[in-house]
Amino acid sequence: MSTRKGIEPVDFSLGEIKADIILEIISNETRRKILSILSEEPMYFNQLAKKLAIGQQAVLRHMETLERSGLVETYPERSTLGAPNRKYYRVKRSFNLNVSLSKNSFSLTNREIKEIRYNDESKLFNDVKFESMPADNPNKSLLYLREIFLNIEDQINDLEDRTNNLRAIKQRILNSLQSLCEDMELEPLERNILYTIIKRSPKDREDLTNMMNLSPSNVNTAVYDLSLKLNPSKGRNFLIKYLRYANTIKKN
C-alpha cells in the first residue's frame, strides 16, 4: 500500500451546481468550516454555533447563504425532551471541483459525485464487496471498512499524482505552442485560432466561428492569413477543415 499523501436560489433541475456559486461559497473560511463539520454529521443551529465559537446571528447568516446555494439542506427531528422539533442541517450535494491554473492554461471543472451500484461485473469496484461484511461482528466490519477506505484514499492520491504529471506535460506543450506562435509572429486573432483548434478541436469552420464568437468573415480572413504563414502549401494540411471559403477571400 502506498503512502497517503448574497446568492440567488439555484435551479438544480440539471443536477449540477455552477462552479462560480461554489467558489463564492467556499471563499469564506467560516462557511468552509461549516461544510467540513456537516460533512461529518448533521447538526442543529446551536450545536454549530457552539462548535464554531461564533455568534448565533453570524451562524444564521452563513446557514441562510449555504441553504440558498443548494449545498446544505434542513430537516426536522423530534426532540426527546418534549421541546419543539429541531431543525438540523446537512450537506445536500456531493461534487468534485477541480481548479487548474498555470502560465498558459486555466480550467475549472465541476462534476457531481453520483451514487454507483457496486457489482461483480464492475472492474473498478470488484474488490469492494460490502455484502461480505460480517453483520454479527461490528469490530470486524469496522476494520473491513477502514481497510477499504484507506485503499480508496491511496488510489485517489495515486490518480491525483498522475493528473499533476499529465498537467505538467500539458504545460510544456502549451509553452511550445506559445514559442511557436512568437517565432511565427502571429497576430492575436491568428494565435487565438491556433489555440482554439489545438485546445478544443472544432469539427469545421462553422464550429470554429461559433467557439470564437466572431463573424465568419473575420475568422475566414484570419484562417487564410494563418495558412500562408504556416506554409502556402503545407499549411493547408493543418487547417483543411477550416479553410472552406477562406481561400476565396480577396486581399484588399
Q: Which structural domain range is residue 167 located in?
A: 118-183
Helix H or strand E segment including 249: none
With CA atoms as reference, report the closest residue to 226 among 199, 252, 197, 187: 187
CATH number for the domain that contains residue 79? 1.10.10.10
Residue 248: pLDDT above 50? no
User: Are 7 and 28 contacting, i.e. CB atoms less than 8 angstroms apart?
Assistant: no
Whether this model's pTM surpasses 0.75 = no
Same domain, 166 and 227: no
Whether 10 maps to a domain, the answer reads: no
| The three cell numbers locating residue 212 | 470564437
Structural domain count, the chain = 3
- The number of residues making up the chain comes to 252
Whether 147 maps to a domain, the answer reads: yes
Same domain, 178 and 188: no
Domain boundary among the residues 146, 164, 183 is at 183
**pLDDT more than 90, % of the chain:** 32
Instruction: Give 120's pLDDT tier (boundaries 50, 70, 90).
Output: very low
Whether 106 maps to a domain, the answer reads: no
Q: Kindly report the average pLDDT of the chain as a whole number.
A: 80
Same domain, 223 and 239: yes
How distant, in Å, are the alpha carbons of 35, 69, 93 from that of 17? 15, 8, 9
Instruction: Report the alpha-carbon distance of residue 106 to residue 179 in Å, rounded.
Output: 18
Residue 76: pLDDT above 80? yes
Same domain, 189 and 178: no
Whether 11 maps to a domain, the answer reads: no
Whether 7 maps to a domain, the answer reads: no
Instruction: Report the alpha-carbon distance of residue 39 to residue 24 in Å, rounded.
Output: 19
Residue that wins the pLDDT comparison between 235 and 156: 156
Same domain, 202 and 168: no
Whether 111 maps to a domain, the answer reads: no
Same domain, 194 and 177: no
Same domain, 24 and 89: yes
Residue 15: pLDDT above 60? no
Domain boundary among the residues 63, 95, 127 is at 95
Same domain, 27 and 79: yes
pLDDT of residue 90: 94
